Structures are given as structure tokens and as C-alpha cells.
Amino acid sequence: MAKNWTLVKRQGALRARANIVQAIRLFFIHEGYFEVETPHRIPAPAPESHIDAVPSGSWFLHTSPELCMKRLLAAGYEKIFQICRCWREGERGSQHTPEFTLLEWYRANSDYLGLMEECEALIPRVASTLGLREMLRFRGQTIELSPPWERISVEDAFQRYAHIPMKKALAEHRFDEIMVEEIEPHLGRSKPAFLYDYPGERAALARLKKEDPSLAERFELYIGGLELANAFSELIDAKEQRNRFLSEQAHRRSLSKRSYPLPEKFLEELESMPPAAGIALGVDRLVMVLLDGDTIDDVVAFTPEEL
Amino acid sequence: MYTSADLKKGLKVVIDGDPYVVTVFDFSKPGKGQALYRTKLRNMITGIAIERTYRPGDTFEPALLEEREMQYLYKEEHIYHFMDNQTYEQITITEEALGETNHYLKENLNVKVLLFTDKAIGVDLPNFVNLRVIKTDLWVKGDTSGSDSKPATVETGYVLRIPPFVQEGELITIDTRTGEYSTRVKE
């Protein structure tokens, strides 16, 4: 048999990837988190308008471990993390594979600002295990990792980079398009950037801001224009969560998308969840950034097309 | 019908009545947001490239292209005549639609003609064609001027650079993908 040269060439990247995953584990263990494993196959994924779960029998492969991890939080597990495979149907591009690796961590009695600080500590620590000091090169940009990182609200980002303001983009249903084409390329070019305070309707599981309930306490982390992580101050009002799920379900129906049963056990137990913050970080993308990979294909053992 | 989820490099679709081929494709999606399918497409008739971004649920009519084995017969003004090898039916293609492929069309050459809605829009050439050199400078043995190529005109009128040792009247092989000299044919 002929040797698979793609795999031969990828060995360096995959070894670095193994070191990165190891460094993430050590970071969280050192910070007093404990690692959990929750089922990949679940009966009811969170209904979100634009995230599609892959069916598995009459159940689904999870799109993130969020609901199960929040049930652990609700039972008093205060600092937990998980590194696991997730599936999202139809997502394939230079930065997406339909099966990918997520790092999620949750912390009771914290909020999204606390998570920003943890990101600022985690990523430089992981980078240092690869011999990267305070700088990294990604897509021709030199990015400085030392905190504090840039923080820019979604509204300000529209003001600064887009041709129309955020409210107008929402009204014209062009929020996502403008985000991808006009805003994202500018984010995190010289330092990683937190894009924060999303419109409430774009954050189905996030807590709304007390000062301005049209906004949600949600942020996304960008490095060199690439989105790496999504975080919230978690919504812990079970009644409001049910309403948000119902409206996401209605939106899915209007787009003729598959409907999921409501995650009833999660909704029941959410009542006892303490105030908390949680974040999902794409491990494949973190590896891309740290190794200056052009596409996600450079940092995975096999792409779906290679199977 | 295709939907935006079917988009990939090489897919052929109809836009405003013309056949287009997808030359660049990427899927992007802002966190928790709607997917966007970003493409570059080339008009298969005019060759003009365009950029388009599509959303989930957008639909496309597939561009159904037919390929038929035909023989090139002759040229009249700016019109090229071909004959279907199976049905002996004759069709014509304009010089414009042929683009640079007309450099290599020698009478009796077999090609694949691409048809879109029964209209011929171009030809697929063999990778290599043999053409006779009808005009080039003499090569003087022992020439040490250091020049490693010279211009030559082949029987179709196409001008290319060939090695100095190839003489007028000789048959050469040309790579149609690059338009360059490949070898000299021994007769």
C-alpha cells in the first residue's frame, strides 16, 4: 500500500495539537476545575435557529455539551470543563467541519467579564507550551497576546466598521452578513478582541443586561479575524428560558427546519442553577491560530472528504 | 434544483439564463448566526468572473451541459464548422465563444463540443495536438548566440516559441493547456 502523504505531512501539526489539548487540561486542573464527560447522544438539543443537530436514531448527536453541563452546575458542581467532539449538520468550509472539538467550561458565581479574564490567562499559557512567547503570527498578522485584550461592543463595532448601524442591520435582516463581510475581518488583528453585548434576540441562552434589556451578556472572542469562542452570563430564569426556546422553535419552523422536543429535564433543573458563566471554545480553531494554519483541514487527522 | 447547501467548487448552475461554474467556494457562519455561502463563479460563455454570496434556502437551476464528440471541419469568416461524429449533423461555433481554443483547431481534429440548451458554447481539446510549423527562422548549426528559443507560426496561424533546432515544415506537439511547445514529432 502507498503511504498517505497527507497524513505523513500532518504529523507535526497533530503532535502540536496533542500538546495544546494537554496544556488546556493542565490549565483547568491547575485552576481548580474538574473534567467531566457528558453523553454525545441526547434526546433534545437546545433549539437554536441556525444550529442543526445530526439525527442519531430517534435522538441527536449533541451540538455542544451545554445543557448537560448546566444540569451539573445546577446540582452544585461549581467549576467544570469538558473537551469533546460535537456535530453540526451542514457546516463545512475553510473554518468548519461538521464534526469538531469543543472546549467548554462553566463557573458558578461568575459572569462574562470573569470569562474574558480566564481567556486572557488560558491562551497565552497554552501558546507558551508551544514555545510562543507574547507574539504569534497568523495569516500575515502579528498578534500580541499579553493582556488586557481589546474589548469592543457589537454596537461600536458596527459603528466603526460597517456601512450601517446595528439596529438598521437587524431590522433589514442583514446582521450576520455584515458581521461576516464587514466586521469580522477587522477583529483581533493586533491583539485578540472580545466582541461583547449582542442584541438579546441573538443569544437564546444568555442573561439580558440589567441596564439595557435589549442587549445580552454575551461575547465572542476573535483572533486575527477568526472567531474562536462564544460566552455568556448564563440565563437562569427557567420560565424565560422556556419562552426563548419556544420562540427559537417557532423561528425554526418558519425556516422549515427540523423541530426538536423541548429539553424538559434541563428546564426543570435550571431553577436551581446558581448565577454562572459558560463558554465554548473551538479547539480546532485554536490550533489553527497557534500553528498559523490556513484552513481547519490543516489541523485535523481526517476531513470528512478523506474518510 | 440545487440549494445553497449543494454549492461546491465545480458545480454548474444557471444565473440569468447563462451557465456558470463555481470556481471558489467557502461556507462561513458568524457564531450562532445564519450561514453564508460565499462563491466566485465564471460565466461559461463569456468567461467573465463574478462574486456572489448566498443564504441558506437559496435555490439554483443546474446548468445541464451536454458533451458531444465532433470533428472540426473548416472555418468560414469568423464561424467554425463542426460535425457530430455519430449523427453527421453539422453545427457552428463563433470565434468569440471558442476563445483561445481556436489556436489548435486543425481540420479533422476530434474535440468534445460543450452544448448548453442545444447551443454550442465551447470545445474541450485533447491535452496535446500535433501541428506543422509553416514559418520560422533558419537554424544555423553551431549558432552560439545563446538564444534558446525562436518564434514560429504553425498551420492554424498560432504563433509560439520553439527550440532553435526545429525546422520549417516539421510537425510539433503542443500542450493545449499551456499553449507551449512540448516535443518534435518524428515522421
Q: What is the pLDDT of residues A63-95, one digit of tens each?
A: 999 999 999 999 999 999 999 999 999 999 999
Cell 496561424 -> residue: B157
Chain B contact for A230 (CB, 8 A cutoff): yes
CA distances to A110, A114, A155, B76 from A118, in Å:
11, 6, 24, 75
Q: A96: which chain B residues are within 8 Å (Cβ-Cβ)?
A: 27-29
pLDDT tens by residue, B81-121: 999 999 999 999 888 778 888 899 999 999 999 999 888 88
Grid cell in block for residue B49: 468572473
Sign of the C-alpha dihedral, residues B161, B166, B171, B174?
A: negative
Cell 441562552 -> residue: A205
Find the residue in A nearest to B55 (Cα): A177
d(CA A38, CA A165): 41
Write down the pLDDT at residue B13: 96
Q: Chain A interface, mutation test: which of B34, B39, B53, B55, most A Cβ atoms within 10 Å? A: B34
Q: A222: which chain B residues are within 8 Å (Cβ-Cβ)?
A: none
Q: Count of H helices and E strands in chain B?
A: 1, 16
Chain A contact for B33 (CB, 8 A cutoff): yes
* Domain B2-62 of CATH type 2.60.450.10: no
* pTM metric for this prediction: 0.82
Spell out the domain ranges in chain B: 2-62, 65-124, 128-185
Name the DSSP letter for residue A149: P
Distance to chain A for B4, nearest Cα, Å: 10
pLDDT-flagged residues of chain A (< 70): 1
Find the residue in A nearest to B29 (Cα): A180
Question: ipTM above 0.90?
Answer: no
* Domain B65-124 of CATH type 1.20.1600.10: no
Evaluate whether B163 touches B112 at the Cβ level (below 8 Å): no
Write down the pLDDT at residue B94: 85
Answer yes or no: do A176 and B26 touch at CB < 8 A: no
Evaluate whether A104 touches A279 at the Cβ level (below 8 Å): yes
Distance to chain A for B7, nearest Cα, Å: 11
- How does the average pLDDT of chain B come out, rounded? 90
Spell out the domain ranges in chain A: 5-147+238-306
Name the nearest CA neighbour of A176 among B30, B5, B38: B30
Residues contacting A252, CB < 8 A, separation 6+: A47, A49, A258, A259
| Contact map slice: B 45-84 vs A, CB within 8 A | 53, 55-57
CATH topology of domain B128-185: OB fold (Dihydrolipoamide Acetyltransferase, E2P) (2.40.50)
pLDDT-flagged residues of chain B (< 50): none
Evaluate whether A5 touches A20 at the Cβ level (below 8 Å): no
Q: B31: which chain A residues are within 8 Å (Cβ-Cβ)?
A: 220, 227, 230
Answer yes or no: do B33 and A202 touch at CB < 8 A: yes
CATH topology of domain A5-147+238-306: BirA Bifunctional Protein; domain 2 (3.30.930)
pLDDT tens by residue, A198-222: 999 888 899 999 999 999 999 999 9
Residues contacting A80, CB < 8 A, separation 6+: A33, A34, A35, A36, A69, A72, A73, A105, A106
